[in-house]
């Protein structure tokens, strides 16, 4: 897993937006697999601090560009690709109890869990950001 909060992976960050450097991320992933089998699945997940795991117009415009960066860096299109949005709402504080923390629940789009500060949602989407996948929470 490559954490995108590494300053090497973005060129601009504000409270409202982040401009990442997907070519750099893709090249680092490709370099990490040098001499190994190429990854068969890649997911590009970014955060929406507004609480909604729905793609923005920019997300839809840029969706296939991220996949292309990985294809170029890896030299192959032979991998499954997913877009994801991690959302949390900074305007609403969590009122969950400790026992309720981090218990994932399926939602109409994605799955959510509550932490000490906020409720988070993770939604996974197709490569074009047109259709969300159903997320199943499996209890052990
Ligand atoms: Zn977005």
Please indicate, yes or no, if residue 86 is contained in any of the structural domains. Answer: yes
CA 37 to ligand 1 center in whole angstroms: 30
CA 67 to ligand 1 center in whole angstroms: 15
What pTM does this model have?
Answer: 0.85
> Tell me, what's the pLDDT at 92?
74
Query: pLDDT tens for residues 115-136?
Result: 888 889 999 999 999 999 999 9
CA 28 to ligand 1 center in whole angstroms: 22
Q: Work out the mean pLDDT of the chain and round it to a whole number.
A: 89
CA 5 to ligand 1 center in whole angstroms: 15
Please indicate, yes or no, if residue 102 is contained in any of the structural domains. Answer: yes
Query: pLDDT tens for residues 94-104?
Result: 787 888 888 89
Please indicate, yes or no, if residue 137 is contained in any of the structural domains. Answer: no
CA 40 to ligand 1 center in whole angstroms: 24
CA 132 to ligand 1 center in whole angstroms: 14
Please indicate, yes or no, if residue 136 is contained in any of the structural domains. Answer: no
Q: How many domains does the chain have?
A: 1
Q: State the alpha helices, DSSP H only, in 6-136.
A: 22-32, 57-74
CB under 8 Å, gap of 24 or more: what pairs does 54-58 form? 54/85, 54/109, 54/123, 55/83, 55/85, 55/125, 55/129
Please indicate, yes or no, if residue 1 is contained in any of the structural domains. Answer: no
CA 29 to ligand 1 center in whole angstroms: 21
Give the pair of three-digit tokens for residue 2: 């490559």
Please indicate, yes or no, if residue 133 is contained in any of the structural domains. Answer: no
Please indicate, yes or no, if residue 130 is contained in any of the structural domains. Answer: no
Give residue 120's domain range.
7-125
Please indicate, yes or no, if residue 132 is contained in any of the structural domains. Answer: no
């Amino acid at each position: 897993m490559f954490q995108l909060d590494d300053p090497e992976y973005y060129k601009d960050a504000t409270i409202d937006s982040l401009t990442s450097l997907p070519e750099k991320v893709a090249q680092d992933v490709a370099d990490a697999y040098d001499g190994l089998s190429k990854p068969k699945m890649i997911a590009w997940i970014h955060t929406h601090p507004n609480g909604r795991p729905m793609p923005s117009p920019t997300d839809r415009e840029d969706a296939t560009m991220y996949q292309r960066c990985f294809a170029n860096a890896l030299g192959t299109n032979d991998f499954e690709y997913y877009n994801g949005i991690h959302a949390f709402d900074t305007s609403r504080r969590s009122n969950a109890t400790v026992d309720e923390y981090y218990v994932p629940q399926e939602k109409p789009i994605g799955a959510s869990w509550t932490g000490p500060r906020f409720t988070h949602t993770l939604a996974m989407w197709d490569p074009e950001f047109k259709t969300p996948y159903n997320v199943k929470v499996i209890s052990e």
